[in-house]
Amino acid sequence: MQMRPMTRVLLGLACLLVAVWLVAPTLVVVPMSFNENKSLAFPPQGFSTQWYANFVNNPDWSSSFINSLKVAVLVAILAAIVGTLAAFGLDRMKSRASGLLRMVLLTPMVVPGVVLAIGIYAVYLDMRLVGTLPGFVLAHTMLAIPFVLIAVTASLEVFDKRLELAATSLGAGRLTTFRTVTLPLILPGILSGLLFAFVTSFDEIIVSLFITNPYLRTLPVQIYTSITRDADPTVAAVGTILLFTTTIVIGGGLLLFARERRT
Amino acid sequence: MAENKQVGRGAAIDIRSVSKVYGNFTALDNVSLGIRPGEFMTLLGPSGSGKTTTLNVVAGFTEITGGNLEVGGSSVVGIPAHKRNIGVVFQHYALFPHMTVGRNVAYPLALRKVPSAEREKRVKQALEMVKMSDFAHRYPSELSGGQQQRVALARAIVFDPPLLLMDEPLGALDKKLREWLQLEIKRIHRELGTTFVYVTHDQEEALVLSDRIAVFNRGRIEQVGTGRELYDEPQTLFVARFIGDSTVLRGQANSDGTSTAISIAGETVTMDKRLPGNGAPVLLLRPEKLALRRRGNGQGESGLNRLSGTVTEAIYLGSGSKYEVRLKDGSTAIVRSPLGEQSFDIGEAVEVTFAGADAKLLADDSTADQTLT
């Protein structure tokens, strides 16, 4: 169908408007991070990279970044393993209870974060897990498992189970079949679940605010405390760094999957 | 492979009173079947008749609920599928999409820890046998259905199993390709000497491939025999109707012990045969045992049975003609006349003739009708 030029222009404008609306708030942090003054004013004045230097040199910032990285990596691995096993088990369950179990496993996604945070905080106080690495990893893993479960379930649904029968007939036991046939074929699902789990933990704030203490702070907590206490443009620098890192990671992941699909 | 070709290295299979019950559904009802070493046995039947269940039981994918199963002289009941050393070819190829053709075929050898030099040699031989040597570095998704199935076949024979099971392997392919692959499978069976068990619902395919055919119906075996035996001497109406065309007639039967007269819509046919068991029999006639002639055209040969009817369909087959004739009782007779015989037109009044000796009397297991339609 041929579009009238007028229609085309209007359509283009509408798209542009939506795009600006969605992306602009994110992009505002980029110029702000090069502000010369210690303020979060927009538009910024002058140009300086001092806030980037501050991010690297100030132990408050660098250690919280390292903490977040540590927690997120551990969560990604743990959630990928547990979530994959859960997806596999639910997929093979013949009982009708599997639907119910799946729902239970997905509740962390549905339950309001504050409610969850209060519950976790209460238990952690008793168990002395507040402000500890295991405490953060445990709480974030719980939040991340549903993402892995969804991603792996999706790839198990398109996985042809008859391939397992074929492997069996060729002499492979259950474990060998899983290792040589099932696992390689659902790996894209596991990897995207892993990525989601990493991101979930890395930018988690609600539960983290409750279970944090001055000794162990993650990056989102540090950003939040910093911005409520003083208008430190380091926040904008951190935001800019995160923006570009996630764009590269997600973009790279998408490219990788696209190539995978072509072969 | 080709050079260590020998006869009799296939395994014998003894299926003894095997049952498989799912809840209140009986998939296999007391099935017994002996398969000789090196034999090409086809399990033939409509869907849901138990043929695939039987194959799965032999492969070890399905546990039996009763009876015994021996492969190569020893019981395999309770032995998991991956320890049975049986090759299986599936309808949907089931090639591993993340491995090249070469790695797919090498897979069973790698599991058996065959040294890599030996492994390469055997993969090459297996691919040569199915004429897929040029495709070793391709991925399954780059191959056509027929090519994929040949690779699957290579993968199933590369570890020299004494028994190869095939579950409708050509079911997803078009007719031309299917016919060509049937001959390929026959050749490979001849060269390997392995026992082949082949599942299909296509009677023509069964006739082309098999040494013997077991006809399945409702979880039971109706009859086992060569194609010729099943065609010429069907033991049940189901077998008669499943293999080849046939005319089935019903009527009032009278028997004096040695000969039987059957009255069909006022016309009586006789044959020197006894009634099979008690109850109303059916009369079965194969198309080439029937002949046609114009009605009111003299007496013709004496001693032949006659039934009058009208030609409703005339099909020229090249090698002859096939007619469908509506008889007085409303049933349809299928007649095949060889090339050079007189031809008939649709609507012509004719007589269908046959010798009493060519007719078969079978018990009327009309339940078979339900399964067929």
Query: Residue length, chain B?
Result: 373
pLDDT band at B300 (very low <50, low <70, confident <90, very high): low
- Are B81 and B225 within one domain? yes
- Are B263 and B285 within one domain? yes
Tens of pLDDT, residue by residue over A187-198, are: 999 998 998 899
Q: Which of B197, B213, B239 is the last residue of a domain?
A: B239
Task: Flag whether residue B177 sits within 8 Å of chain A, measured between CB atoms.
Answer: no
Q: Shortest CA distance to B54 belongs to which of B188, B260, B224? A: B224
* Stretch among A84-98, A177-191, B128-142, B157-171 having the lowest mean pLDDT: A84-98
Q: Which of A171, A181, A184 sits opposite B108 (nearest CB)?
A: A171
**Nearest Cα residue in chain B from A165:** B61
- Are B159 and A160 inside 8 Å of each other by CB? no
Task: Flag whether residue B88 sits within 8 Å of chain A, measured between CB atoms.
Answer: yes
- Are A176 and B111 inside 8 Å of each other by CB? yes
- Are A170 and B159 inside 8 Å of each other by CB? yes
| pLDDT given for residue B370 in this prediction | 44
Does residue A228 register a pLDDT over 80?
yes
Q: Which of A169, A181, A184 sits opposite B88 (nearest CB)?
A: A169
- Are B159 and B46 within one domain? yes
Instruction: Report the C-alpha gap between B254 and B275 in whole angstroms.
Output: 9
Please indicate, yes or no, if residue B315 is contained in any of the structural domains: yes
Mean pLDDT of chain B: 89
The number of angstroms, rounded, from the C-alpha of B319 to the middle of its chain's C-alpha atoms is: 24
Q: Are B261 and B269 in contact (CB under 8 A)?
A: yes
Mean pLDDT to the nearest integer, B133-149: 94
- Are B213 and B256 within one domain? no
In a 3-state reduction of DSSP, which class is residue B211?
A: coil
B159: chain A residues, CB-CB within 8 Å: 170-171
- Are B304 and B196 within one domain? no
pLDDT band at A250 (very low <50, low <70, confident <90, very high): confident
Of B249 and B279, more confident = B249
Task: Flag whether residue B61 sits within 8 Å of chain A, measured between CB atoms.
Answer: yes
| pLDDT given for residue A231 in this prediction | 77
Instruction: Report the C-alpha gap between A76 and A146 in whole angstroms.
Output: 12
| pLDDT given for residue B170 in this prediction | 93
Does residue A257 register a pLDDT over 80?
no
Please indicate, yes or no, if residue B2 is contained in any of the structural domains: no
B91: chain A residues, CB-CB within 8 Å: none
Task: Pick from B63, B96, B123 the residue to mutate for testing the A interface (most A CBs within 10 Å).
Answer: B96
- Are B225 and B257 within one domain? no
Instruction: Report the C-alpha gap between B255 and A81 in whole angstroms.
Output: 77
A171: chain B residues, CB-CB within 8 Å: 82-83, 85, 108, 111-112, 159
What sections of chain B are H helices per DSSP?
51-59, 101-111, 116-129, 145-157, 175-192, 203-209, 227-232, 237-242, 367-372
- Are A171 and B92 inside 8 Å of each other by CB? no
Q: Shortest CA distance to B28 belongs to which of B79, B60, B62, B74? A: B62
- Are B62 and B136 within one domain? yes
A176: chain B residues, CB-CB within 8 Å: 111
Q: Which of B239, B269, B288 is the last residue of a domain?
A: B239
Q: Are B147 and B135 in contact (CB under 8 A)?
A: yes
Mean pLDDT to the nearest integer, B308-320: 90
Q: Which of B60, B111, B156 sits opposite A172 (nearest CB)?
A: B111
What sections of A28-112 are H helices per DSSP?
29-32, 50-57, 59-92, 97-110
Task: Flag whether residue B79 sits within 8 Å of chain A, measured between CB atoms.
Answer: no
**CA separation, residue B343 to residues A113, A192, B247, B301, B329 (Å):** 87, 72, 20, 19, 24
CATH number for the domain harbouring residue B279 = 2.40.50.140
- Are B273 and B213 within one domain? no
Please indicate, yes or no, if residue B8 is contained in any of the structural domains: no
In a 3-state reduction of DSSP, which class is residue B344?
A: coil
Residues 6 or more apart whose Cβ sits within 8 Å of residue A73 = A198
- Are B283 and B304 within one domain? yes
| pLDDT given for residue B252 in this prediction | 85
Task: Flag whether residue B113 sits within 8 Å of chain A, measured between CB atoms.
Answer: no
A167: chain B residues, CB-CB within 8 Å: 96, 107
pLDDT band at B96 (very low <50, low <70, confident <90, very high): very high
**Nearest Cα residue in chain A from B89:** A166
What DSSP designation does A3 have? P
Mean pLDDT to the nearest integer, A122-126: 94
Domain of residue B63, residue span? 13-239
Distance from CA of B4 to the nearest CA of A (A): 22
Does residue B273 register a pLDDT over 90?
no
Does residue A185 register a pLDDT over 80?
yes
- Are B61 and A168 inside 8 Å of each other by CB? yes
Sequence ranges of the domains in chain A: 50-262
Q: Which long-range contacts (CB under 8 A, 24 or more apart) does B251-256 make?
A: B251/B283, B251/B329, B253/B280, B253/B281
Tens of pLDDT, residue by residue over B171-214, are: 888 889 999 999 999 999 999 999 999 999 999 999 999 999 99
Please indicate, yes or no, if residue B4 is contained in any of the structural domains: no
| pLDDT given for residue B3 in this prediction | 38
Distance from CA of B227 to the nearest CA of A (A): 30
Q: How much of chain B exceeds pLDDT 70, in percent?
A: 93
What DSSP designation does A179 have? I
Does residue B373 register a pLDDT over 50?
no
**CA separation, residue A135 to residues A132, A186, A199, B229, B262 (Å):** 5, 30, 18, 77, 90
Instruction: Report the C-alpha gap between A181 and B10 in whole angstroms.
Output: 29
Please indicate, yes or no, if residue B7 is contained in any of the structural domains: no
Task: Pick from A169, A176, A180, A186 the residue to mutate for testing the B interface (most B CBs within 10 Å).
Answer: A169
| pLDDT given for residue B368 in this prediction | 44
Query: Residue length, chain A?
Result: 263
A172: chain B residues, CB-CB within 8 Å: 82, 107, 111
- Are B84 and B185 within one domain? yes
Please indicate, yes or no, if residue B6 is contained in any of the structural domains: no
Place of tokens 């209460």: A122
N-terminal to C-terminal alpha carbon distance within chain B: 44
Q: Which of B205, B220, B239 is the last residue of a domain?
A: B239
Q: Are B52 and B142 in contact (CB under 8 A)?
A: no
| pLDDT given for residue A77 in this prediction | 97
Distance from CA of B206 to the nearest CA of A (A): 24
The tokens describing B184, both together, are 């390929």
Of B59 and A1, more confident = B59
Task: Pick from B84, B98, B138, B158 the residue to mutate for testing the A interface (most A CBs within 10 Å).
Answer: B98
| pLDDT given for residue A129 in this prediction | 92
Q: What is the ipTM of this complex?
A: 0.81
Task: Flag whether residue B85 sits within 8 Å of chain A, measured between CB atoms.
Answer: yes
Mean pLDDT to the nearest integer, A189-212: 92
Q: Are A55 and A242 in contact (CB under 8 A)?
A: no
- Are B226 and B279 within one domain? no
Instruction: Report the C-alpha gap between B119 and B98 in whole angstroms.
Output: 19
Q: Are B31 and B219 in contact (CB under 8 A)?
A: yes
Does residue A230 register a pLDDT over 70?
yes
| pLDDT given for residue B7 in this prediction | 45
The number of angstroms, rounded, from the C-alpha of B196 to the middle of its chain's C-alpha atoms is: 13
Would you identify the CATH topology of the domain A50-262?
MetI-like fold (1.10.3720)
Rg (CA), chain B: 25
Rg (CA), chain A: 23
- Are B139 and A167 inside 8 Å of each other by CB? no
- Are B49 and B182 within one domain? yes
- Overall number of domains in chain B: 2
Task: Flag whether residue B119 sits within 8 Å of chain A, measured between CB atoms.
Answer: no
- Are A166 and B86 inside 8 Å of each other by CB? no
CATH number for the domain harbouring residue B63 = 3.40.50.300
> Position A181: which residue type?
V
| pLDDT given for residue B298 in this prediction | 59
